[in-house]
Structure 1
Amino acid sequence: MDVENLLLGILIGAALVAAPMSFWAARNAQRRFDAGRTSRDGETAGLDARLRSSEAALQETRATAQAAAEARSALAARMEESASAHAEKLRWIDTAREQLAQQFQSLAASILDAKAERFAASNGEQVGALMAPLREQLQQFQQLVVESRAQEGESRAVLRTEIITLRQMSERLSGDAMNLARALTGDTKSQGAWGELVLERLLEVSGLSEGRDYETQVVLRDEGGETRRPDVVVRLPGGRDVVIDAKVSLTAFERWCNDTDIVARDKHLAEHLGSMRRHIDELGKRGYARSSGLASNGIVLMFVPIEAAYLEAIRVDPKLYELALRSDVVVVSPGMLLGVLRTVDHVWKAEARSRNAEKIAERAGLLYDKFAAFVQDLQRASEQTGKARESIDTAIGKLATGRGHLVGQVEKLRQLGARSSRDLRSLLPIVDHDDDEGEGDAT
């Protein structure tokens, strides 16, 4: 739900930013009308009244622009704070890795120094086999840390340019939309194709991947078995979905753009507003939240592919946005939708970094367990080597020391005349006792 609240906050903030543009659209319409109007005194008085009204609206939109700027600054601060938090997490991981490596190195050195004398040359291969998994785990851990730092650096570099490029792309898309809107006729099919084309372009530049982050022309069924086919379904982290609809009619708006008669223009603008209200009501009744195969809370993004069409509707009826929200519909222009899609892309990247951090922590735990097992095996081998040494010392003691030891008995045979080319006394330390003739057991 935090992601959805963030998206809703961005949309409302973008709506406030879009308000000043509506004023300039109204001024441009007024100038075109002035070029063709007659010089009648009554019409001049009416235009003066509208000019004073527009100047009053200018003051209001300036205040709105200030509020939107503050909202955008707050969003940038939160995004920067998120980047700082990820950087701090990476620094913590680097520090932990260095400390862990130092502790491992110190512990291994102390164990090897204490037990080195007890190992024979034949134990070298065994120690190498024990160290190989540990070395592999350390290399994998280091690789994960390096990859995570590289991803964080790339994300921070992208973040610095996103806020600047977002507005530039929005203005460019708005200009393209306005130019193409003038070339459109009242054909609804052509307008629908244009809306889908603009939506497709926004998805391409947003950084999202089709098939992974969003899907087009998804077939859904509601509770009554009726088929629903939304234009786009955007996937969000946490298994949530957002529906985008781009089928709003702009026929009346196209007539408003091309007509020069003020009465006819007002009529076309009212028809345009009515068309948007009807489409909002229709989307609110579709019940996407109850459709099978869709994990949505019911909110639908109603995409208006021409920025000016959105701004004029909001200018004429400022409560249109609130009306749409009550029907679980959010009206978005190209610039607003691009901001939403870019935010979704950043959320997915943050989710990936979080998963990498969890993998690093899991790998560190496995590495620690592996090293603990290595130390345990090392201690067990040391104990077994010590026991073997004690057994050898005991056997040698029975062989060459103690009263009646075996070497002494055999040496008596040589003294009695047994022929031999070697002397056992030069090979083993023999301790003689006074009663060499005794036959007691070796100690």
Structure 2
Amino acid sequence: MLTTVIIVLSLLLLILACITGALWVSRKHLTTQVSTLTIERDEARNRIEASGSEVSELKTQLELARQELTQKSAAFEQAQTQSRETFATLANETLNKTSEQFLQLAKKSLESENKDAAAALEQRKQAIESMLKPIREQLENHAKAVTEMEKNREGAYQGLRQQITGLLESQQHLSQTTTQLSTALKGSAGTRGRWGELALKRIVELAGMVNHVDFDEQVSIWKGNDQQRPDMVVRLPADRNIVIDSKAVGENYLKAMECDNEQDRTELFRLHANQIEGRVRDLSRKDYTTGFTHAPDFVVLFIPGDSFLTPAMIAKPTLVEDALSRNVVIATPTTLVSLLKVIAMGWREEQLAENAQKVTEQATVLHERVATVIGHMEKLGKSLDTAVSHYNKMTSSFESRVLVSTKRLEEMGIKSAKKLPDALPELEAAPREMRTTESISESSDKTDGD
């Protein structure tokens, strides 16, 4: 747009220069004429001097020349003024038009740029919104998660307070129970024995066993005139049994734990180990194998506390090996639970084996019955085939011997309300032969392959 304005102004300046040049040439021409007239005047003066008659004529011509020069000068000035006015007018008009066009073009360009800028701004706004949307959603989710976490934290703190309160109560109860247990263990042998039996029953139930199903308590057996009653008998697969006797040997252990003298404590732990060894000898002498139809493989000596066995083994390292040599297994709650879980697993395996045997027997019976039904079906198929053949033969004989004669009676005028058929239907279907197991397997393989 600016280039157009410059071109127009250049054209106007060129036109003005041409007009100015023309006026300058005309003025120069007039100046030349004035010089010529002056020369002629001088010549005329000379001639006037030479000839007086020509003076008046020359004066007249000179006056005319002066008038003409004056007129031409006035005309030149007028033309120059008009040219200036015309140039100014044209320049103003051109400048106004050019300015108006420039403003219009600038306005259109500005409007277009504004529209493009608005569209670009809208696109950027949408792009920014699309970019901020996931962040906004994440912030909202984070806020919800924080709120939910805060609720859970408050709930957890509340639950933790309750658990701590319950733990404190349990600790107090445990402390009281421990005190009572310590008092009981320091009491009579019967009290200690009853506590050991209760601990044994809890361990067996914890292993998933059921009384009178997987184990029995206080089973009485006779060996001659002597009655023996082990604390528990655990049943094993193949009608085997494990006898468990609980021995609460904790008197010397508790004394040792309360003793401050290291030498006295060591001596008490040695006495504690000797006490356990004595219980092992007692169990090995009882010989529970003769009291059961299926003799037990070994006898378990249950000590109701893992902490009771450790110091005894330190005092007598061969305690467990010596017990095993007498077919006695020393078990604490931890080892007894593992042993009973293995026994329970053996029971489940035995039951699975029995179920598998029953399934095998039922499958054999089913196979025999299926074979019998297949034989009956083959006989039925053959019977159906024979019946179809006999039916077709009978219809053929009926058509050739009876139906033809009956048709002749109709031709003789003997008819009834019912119309005789032209022919009897013939059965063409035959029973499908049963396929062998090999062909069924082949077709099944083809179907699986497709």
Corresponding letter in the other structure for 2:328: V
Distance 2:323 2:405 in 1: 111
1:330-363 CA-partner distances (Å, limit 9, x unpaired): 1111111111111112222222333333444444
Structure 1 equivalent of residue 226 of structure 2: 226
Task: Please state how far the C-alpha of 1:419 moved relative to its aligned partner.
Answer: 5.4
Task: Please state how far the C-alpha of 1:325 moved relative to its aligned partner.
Answer: 1.4
Structure 2 equivalent of residue 241 of structure 1: 241
Structure 2 equivalent of residue 340 of structure 1: 339
Task: Please state how far the C-alpha of 1:231 moved relative to its aligned partner.
Answer: 0.3
Structure 1 equivalent of residue 204 of structure 2: 203
Distance 1:406 1:308 in 2: 109
Task: Please state how far the C-alpha of 1:263 moved relative to its aligned partner.
Answer: 4.1
Structure 1 equivalent of residue 301 of structure 2: 302
Inter-CA distance 266–294: structure 2 relative to 1 (3 Å threshold): farther
Structure 2 equivalent of residue 188 of structure 1: 189
Inter-CA distance 193–410: structure 2 relative to 1 (3 Å threshold): same
Inter-CA distance 382–267: structure 2 relative to 1 (3 Å threshold): same
Q: 2:402 aligns with which of 380, 403, 406?
A: 406
1:194-221 CA-partner distances (Å, limit 9, x unpaired): 2112112111211111111101011111
Structure 1 equivalent of residue 251 of structure 2: 251
Structure 2 equivalent of residue 104 of structure 1: none
Structure 1 equivalent of residue 100 of structure 2: none
TM-score, normalised with respect to structure 2: 0.50
Distance 2:387 2:355 in 1: 47
Distance 2:238 2:350 in 1: 10
State the SS of the aligned residue for 1:200. helix
Distance 2:221 2:199 in 1: 23
TM alignment of 1:55-70, pairs within 5 A: none
Inter-CA distance 368–298: structure 2 relative to 1 (3 Å threshold): closer
Q: Which runs of 5+ in 1 are unaligned?
A: 1-174, 430-443
Distance 1:348 1:371 in 2: 34
Structure 1 equivalent of residue 422 of structure 2: 426
State the SS of the aligned residue for 1:285. helix
Corresponding letter in the other structure for 1:246: S
Structure 1 equivalent of residue 280 of structure 2: 280
Which one has a bigger Cα radius of gyration? 2
1:239-297 CA-partner distances (Å, limit 9, x unpaired): 10000001353322222222223443333223222222221111101111111x45233
Relative contact order higher in (CA < 8 Å, ≥ 6 apart): 1
Task: Please state how far the C-alpha of 1:321 moved relative to its aligned partner.
Answer: 1.2
Corresponding letter in the other structure for 1:252: N
RMSD over aligned CA atoms reads 3.0
Distance 1:178 1:312 in 2: 20
Structure 1 equivalent of residue 381 of structure 2: 382
Check conservation: 1:234, 1:242, Cα contact below 8 A.
yes
Distance 1:321 1:428 in 2: 98
Name the structure with the higher helix share: 2
1:143-165 CA-partner distances (Å, limit 9, x unpaired): xxxxxxxxxxxxxxxxxxxxxxx
Distance 1:347 1:399 in 2: 76
1:122-163 CA-partner distances (Å, limit 9, x unpaired): xxxxxxxxxxxxxxxxxxxxxxxxxxxxxxxxxxxxxxxxxx
Corresponding letter in the other structure for 1:353: L
Distance 1:178 1:240 in 2: 38
State the SS of the aligned residue for 1:338. helix
* Aligned residue-pair number: 251
Corresponding letter in the other structure for 2:199: V
State the SS of the aligned residue for 2:274. helix
Q: Which runs of 5+ in 2 are unaligned?
A: 1-173, 426-450
